[in-house]
Structure 1
């Protein structure tokens, strides 16, 4: 028995690159990552790659990612965007893969790193403790808005359920 890993050089996560826009990166991040600016075609190509990854995940692997956010997107040296961070993924409903399944919502009782990013979590996760492949698509939509909003999610919550709920109401999502 053995365990093997295959890796490739990475440029950084999408969160690293978007963080450059606000000078909130730690000093350990490479200078080229700090100063990187996307071309419009890179956004289009990257979003196509994420959409294809989610298509495969939902229809072939029958999984819900549950944490589609900038920190779950890895960018390699060639500029390819790859979906990573499957620690919160769930198996889809066996009989109807598009129907909701039960899932844990955000709680202040667990550390931030032990649960999906609240700023990219769809409202049904908190309202009904359920998620579906459509939940991943909602999160992808929030990621897209963050690309054009200086890296900020529309639901920026500061890890507070009450602020999250307020943002949901402000944006008009119910």
Structure 2
């Protein structure tokens, strides 16, 4: 099995407003089957993980109003990954890999972070040395992780909160 999810790391916006953007509420650090998890990262970013979802530019644009957002999407079943940074409703940069286009496919645009070139060069070299694995897939993921301190495929010491969407009646009556 492979991961299929988007995650959003937000800085500069209150947690209550971030959860409100997604129409979510926290039920605490308990396990419950939900498409949403997250919490405050040691790096200071607030994380929302949305399982089985591909983020859209419109979604990140709205979330980034008066804030900074790093969004990352991974679909390991077809080896597609994307990371993007938005500030105050404007896209700053984005990096996309789609193995369905080519094993070496990489599209990068905008004001890329300083760490991008080193990550790209290291993983491109690794791809050239071991062509039986898709290392280019990891470029957007590694870039987002370098900035926020979060990777979807690493074991976390902290336990994330579970977020749920309130039922119709909870929405009406609180």
TM-score over 0.5 for the pair: no
Name the TM-score, length of structure 2 as normaliser.
0.31
The structure where strand makes up a greater share of residues is 2
Name the TM-score, length of structure 1 as normaliser.
0.31
